[in-house]
Amino acid sequence: AQTVTQSQPEMSVQEAETVTLSCTYDTSESDYYLFWYKQPPSRQMILVIRQEAYKQQNATENRFSVNFQKAAKSFSLKISDSQLGDAAMYFCAYRRGNAGNMLTFGGGTRLMVKP
Amino acid sequence: SAVISQKPSRDICQRGTSLTIQCQVDSQVTMMFWYRQQPGQSLTLIATANQGSEATYESGFVIDKFPISRPNLTFSTLTVSNMSPEDSSIYLCSVKRGGPETQYFGPGTRLLVL
């Protein structure tokens, strides 16, 4: 079975600085997708970024980028120029490719942004 | 993306009662998913709801406890039956859309069972 591990229960960053959230996963599949979701206090789950396993290029969405290391099964999220609105729970998630439906989530990392 | 609404947004219920949560999507989707997020925890998939067939439940979840309906391609309901305080959670509806197929989530229903 697939597992997703986020080893940092809490992280803090100064506003305008950069922070990296860690995620590792375990799978025997070669085709899969990885996601980072943000859950602010409103509890709405918001997709931040996604990565297809077959792509070597790291995904980037504005201030958010990932470092995808397939051999190491690592998928970290970098947030640049942190803003107060970035404060939230961040969940890393895995989904098997093709017919895969179920998202397997990590335990989450609470990010605090200091003004 | 997808616009997903859920009703109710929150509720406080008594032990032994049942609550039905509704999920409405802005356009047709083949599969809808129901997740549970217990307090301070991550999300766990309860079941996948396909239109015109029985829902598929994940290990640890049963139809008698969490009956699901999927009457059309834009709507689904999840019922939490015979509730106990352990059912206090956020219940989230999700759909898969886009390329690569990405899952989007509704705002969630926060349930407190006394």
Mean pLDDT rounded to a whole number for chain B:
92
> B24-36: per-residue pLDDT in tens?
999 998 889 999 9
What are the counts of helices (DSSP H) followed by strands (DSSP E) for chain A? Answer: 0, 12
pLDDT of residue A99: 62
Please state, in angstroms and rounded to a whole number, the distance separating the CA atoms of residues A112 and A109: 10
Chain B residue numbers touching A43 (CB-CB < 8 A): 90, 107-108, 110
Work out the minimum CA distance from B42 to partner chain A, whole angstroms.
5
Residue B1 tokens read as 């993306």
Residues 6 or more apart whose CB falls under 8 angstroms from that of A58 comprise A51, A65, A66, A67, A68
pLDDT in tens for each of the 115 residues of chain A? 689 999 999 999 999 999 999 999 999 988 899 999 999 988 889 999 999 998 889 999 999 999 999 999 999 999 999 999 999 999 999 998 766 678 899 999 999 999 9
Compare all CA atoms of chain B with the CA of A41 and give the residue at the minimum distance. B107
Closest listed residue to residue A106, CA positions, set A83, A81, A76: A76
Is the pLDDT higher at B112 or at A29? B112
pLDDT of residue A102: 82
Nearest to A45 among B1, B45, B105 (CB): B105
Phi and psi at residue B70, to the nearest 5°: -145, 75
Do the Cβ atoms of B76 and B26 come closer than 8 Å?
A: no
